[in-house]
Structure 1
Amino acid sequence: MVVETVKSTRSARVQVLLYRGKSFVTGLRWHPLGSVTGHMKEARQYGREHHLDIVAIRRTPAIIQAGFVARSDDVTKGMYSLAATLAGQLGDSWIAAWRTDSDLDQYALVAVYQGGVISGCDMIGTGAEVRRRVAQQRSRGISFTHEYLPSEFEMGGHPLDVEELLQPSNLKREYRLRPLVFGLSKTELVQLSILAGLITVGVLGWAQWENHQAQIAKEAAFQAEQRRLEELARLQKESGVEQPPQALEHPWAKRPSVDDFLEQCSRVIYQLPLSIAGWEFSDALCDGTQVVSSYRRSGNSTADNLIKATLGHFPGGPVFDESKSLALLKFDISLPAAGDEPLKAADDMLANLSSWLHNFSQQPTLKEVPVEVPVQPAVPGQPAPPPPPPPQWKQFELRYATGITPLDALTGAPAQGLRLREIKTKYETGHLLWTVTGDLYAK
């Protein structure tokens, strides 16, 4: 088998396998279609929204699914979807990986669960990448009926005879990619009408409770996978760097960087006046989503005075306590996620951060706190998933109080694995006193 990597400005995930003159495309974006009679309309809508114009449609009794790709990925109609070709022969529950070239550390991976190709499991990668993806699916509690894995993975299963499966006599028209813009042919419309009638009759008789629960479980599994991919895409967009799937399991990847936190919080806090229409500044707190400042009434100042003075400066205006002598002013901020990053040994990271702060005459406390890995909820109708594996990192809570601004004290600090939780300042005897709270993640 010959492997050709598609040169594309759009997506590096799309690749093509050439076998006996036939082209098999990997890296499709798989998406479930909800409508039986209008699934092509739904597919075209999805393609327009995501700038994808070529599709492979899979229909099984349990699911209708579309795999999308773009012409800009050097993919054309008539090529075959590798995942669809194998799924049409291997059934509804399996995972397969095999080496594409004996001279390269390059493996193909395809996985199907409950009739649908699993998003992110139609790919080509190195042996290490594919092993991690197989382990990831197992960790999610998925139990495949069949596992076809190479012996060098040492993960069980049996080798896949991909040459037998991809020979021309096994290829069907339904495995081919086709353009979205042309919609359905007359023959396809007739076939779809017949299929819709048969499915309608079948659905009327398929009202047993267990089957209904199974359908709910399938939908929940696909929705969960879709949310996971959307979250990973958000992290990549905000951080500006391609993120590995493991980033979703790392809490520091989803939180803003120290520099962004310091810059945005300080920018708002430094602009807060010490007095507004006779109301005196008391304190302010920034938690990365908003800055909340409090002002106390003095002299003969009134709530009306503060409302007029802050109009147009603080969305929503001031919020007063019952006595109308204390007011809160809120200002929303938005910080991008920093993305994933490697961690160093805890002893080194603790020493580096504490030494930096000691240079500023600070006395930080760095206390280890238990790491709680969230347990995935059970899918309706399915057994509870196994408990998550223990985390491979430690978490330390950072706290210190100072008269030096955090922007001065922490700019240039060793921030690898460091994420700030909140910055608080309080005005006392003519000075601002600062309290900084954060988390340090380390191995």
Structure 2
Amino acid sequence: MVALLNTDTPKPSSRVQTIQHRGRVFVTGMLWIPLGNMTSYMKEARQYGQEHSLDIVAIRRTSLMIQAGFVSRTSDVNKGMYSLAATLAGQLGDSWIAAWAVDADQDRYAIVAVHEGRIIPGCDLIGTAAEVRKRVQQQRSRGIQFEREFLPPEFSMGGEALDIDELLQPSRLKREYRLRPLVFGMSKAELAQLLLVVLLVGGGLLAWSQWKDHQAEVARQAAIAAEKKRLEELAELQKKTGTEQPIQALEHPWAKQPSVTDFVETCSQVIYQLPLNIQGWSFDKAECNGSQVMATYHRDGNSNALGLAKATANHFSMRPEFAEQGNTATLRFDISVGAAGDDPLLEASDALEALTTWFHSFSQEPQLQPMQVVVPQEPALPGQPAPPPPPPPQWKQYQLSYTTGVLPYDSFNGAPTQGLRLQEIKTEYKADHLIWSVTGVLYAK
């Protein structure tokens, strides 16, 4: 039976954990990144470890890539321990996902996933059954088709059983699965590999072989750059939301947009404070798109552009923009709204029913029209064939629009906004009243 070394439930912020089996210690929760240099990969790994205060590494080499898993000694991890993900990846192949109970009584489950030969970041960890089940669902929602799935029967998600005791037998463990320190020089194996490369280069390669190697290197570098870009985009999204986000959030447009509450509050803070008259210029209309509020005023009587410019100096993001022979002016105010992050979607019928019911209670008639979901095609890597078409989208979209005399803050106060994102709020001053127009997109499954 595989057991946790620490019986206390780990803190949510502590991703690195260890399990033991027959005297061997296995590490989970490592940071996995691709390495680009096929001959000096340890140098690249040491540089990355030094920049991020990580001093223990596990190296995985396949025919297509080199991947490094990093961890720090401060997590009570030492050389000679084994990477759990690398151990399983070395035996189960290039496409699989596995989850199993580490300690069912303590609700502790492990998950490891490999796709196209690489360990998937965020799928080398130990958590509760709910957390691990959610990770499995997240990978499925990305459209990944694993060749094999090893899932516990209590998840009721299909798959086959995993004989983890057999896979972690000491006789199955290789040196390449071990963790190694980053503070020493190159190993003998690395020196031997480097010497072999030098001899091959020194002996000369045929022009065809050189070209093929060059193309493969370009493709590897492009794949590494794309993966690093995805990780950077995920880090930026997590910074905007202030919470940890799953990797598939990058594919969900609603994850990168502000919540309804934040959108309405930020726009309202500016629009509600716009005066109806500024030095003889009367308010006409205003628009807010989440990044900027644009207010339009028209000139009355003998008011003039200079008077408006002086009155609004230092109150807006730029000087007024005049049009129609100087009779109308646009004032702009820059705003910033954070992202809402990823969240589960409701069934389309339930989401539409809840939203229309809410607006009908205000005697409003919202328009909810289906929208085509376009999933972008990934570009081909240099020297590689075009990738297959993207899988069909896992969600639906509906364009929301309505016009009302009710303030947006009141319209959405308590509204069922799960999966709803606003795009624009407009208001127009007519017959001594403000008329509001709102547009947005409802995402559902």
TM range (shorter): 0.7 to 0.9
Q: In structure 2, the residue corresponding to 1:56 is in which secondary structure?
A: strand
Distance 1:198 1:85 in 2: 32
Distance 1:204 1:268 in 2: 67
| Residues 35 and 66 in structure 2, CA contact (< 8 A), matched pair in contact too | yes
| Residues 220 and 379 in structure 1, CA contact (< 8 A), matched pair in contact too | no
| Residues 40 and 183 in structure 1, CA contact (< 8 A), matched pair in contact too | no
Q: In structure 1, the residue corresponding to 2:400 is in which secondary structure?
A: strand
Q: 1:316 to 1:189 in 2, by over 3 A?
A: farther
Match of 2:3 in 1: 3
Aligned residues with identical type, % of pairs: 52
Which piece of structure 1 moves more, 402-411 or 224-233? 224-233
Quote how far apart the aligned CAs of 1:386 are.
3.9
Deviations 1:75-118 (A, max 9, x none): 33332212333445666x3435363559678454241535x433
Match of 2:388 in 1: 385
Quote how far apart the aligned CAs of 1:284 are.
1.2
Q: 1:43 to 1:270 in 2, by over 3 A?
A: farther
Distance 2:256 2:126 in 1: 27
Q: 1:42 to 1:118 in 2, by over 3 A?
A: same
Q: In structure 2, the residue corresponding to 1:194 is in which secondary structure?
A: helix
Q: How does 1:349-388 map to 2 (within 5 A)?
A: 349-360=351-362, 362-380=363-381, 381-388=384-391
Q: How does 1:388-399 map to 2 (within 5 A)?
A: 388-391=391-394, 393-399=395-401
Quote how far apart the aligned CAs of 1:345 are.
4.6
Equivalent position to 2:421, from 419, 422, 426: 419
One-letter amino acid of the structure 2 residue matched with residue 67 of structure 1: G
Deviations 1:93-146 (A, max 9, x none): 3435363559678454241535x4333343456574465366457x24x786xx
Which piece of structure 1 moves more, 255-264 or 120-129? 120-129
Q: How does 1:328-343 map to 2 (within 5 A)?
A: 328-343=330-345
Q: In structure 2, the residue corresponding to 1:18 is in which secondary structure?
A: strand
Q: 1:42 to 1:203 in 2, by over 3 A?
A: farther
Distance 1:347 1:150 in 2: 31
Distance 2:16 2:401 in 1: 46
Q: How does 1:26-65 map to 2 (within 5 A)?
A: 26-35=28-37, 39-40=41-42, 42-47=44-49, 50=52, 52-59=54-61, 62-65=64-67
1:95 lines up with 2:96 in the alignment:
yes
One-letter amino acid of the structure 2 residue matched with residue 95 of structure 1: W
One-letter amino acid of the structure 1 residue matched with residue 81 of structure 2: M
Deviations 1:147-172 (A, max 9, x none): 4746969978x877655554445545
Which consecutive unaligned segments of at least 5 residues does structure 2 have? none
Quote how far apart the aligned CAs of 1:423 are.
0.6
| Residues 5 and 20 in structure 2, CA contact (< 8 A), matched pair in contact too | no
Deviations 1:222-249 (A, max 9, x none): 4444444444444445445544455444
One-letter amino acid of the structure 2 residue matched with residue 82 of structure 1: L
Match of 2:412 in 1: 410
| Residues 401 and 438 in structure 2, CA contact (< 8 A), matched pair in contact too | yes
Distance 2:76 2:170 in 1: 22
Match of 1:266 in 2: 268
One-letter amino acid of the structure 2 residue matched with residue 184 of structure 1: G
Q: In structure 2, the residue corresponding to 1:384 is in which secondary structure?
A: coil
Quote how far apart the aligned CAs of 1:261 are.
0.9
Q: In structure 2, the residue corresponding to 1:424 is in which secondary structure?
A: strand
Distance 1:26 1:199 in 2: 38
Match of 1:184 in 2: 185
Q: What is the TM-score normalised by the length of structure 1?
A: 0.79
Distance 2:41 2:10 in 1: 28
Distance 1:234 1:128 in 2: 26
Match of 2:116 in 1: 113
CA RMSD after TM alignment: 4.0
Q: How does 1:267-286 map to 2 (within 5 A)?
A: 267-286=269-288
Q: In structure 2, the residue corresponding to 1:356 is in which secondary structure?
A: helix
Which piece of structure 1 moves more, 380-389 or 55-64? 55-64
Q: What is the TM-score normalised by the length of structure 2?
A: 0.78
Q: 1:43 to 1:298 in 2, by over 3 A?
A: farther
Distance 1:237 1:384 in 2: 31
Q: In structure 2, the residue corresponding to 1:273 is in which secondary structure?
A: coil
One-letter amino acid of the structure 2 residue matched with residue 111 of structure 1: V
Q: How does 1:250-329 map to 2 (within 5 A)?
A: 250-321=252-323, 323-329=325-331
Match of 2:198 in 1: 197
Aligned positions, number: 433
| Residues 370 and 398 in structure 2, CA contact (< 8 A), matched pair in contact too | yes
Equivalent position to 1:132, from 109, 114, 137: 137
Which piece of structure 1 moves more, 307-316 or 422-431? 307-316
Q: 1:243 to 1:61 in 2, by over 3 A?
A: closer
Which consecutive unaligned segments of at least 5 residues does structure 1 have? none
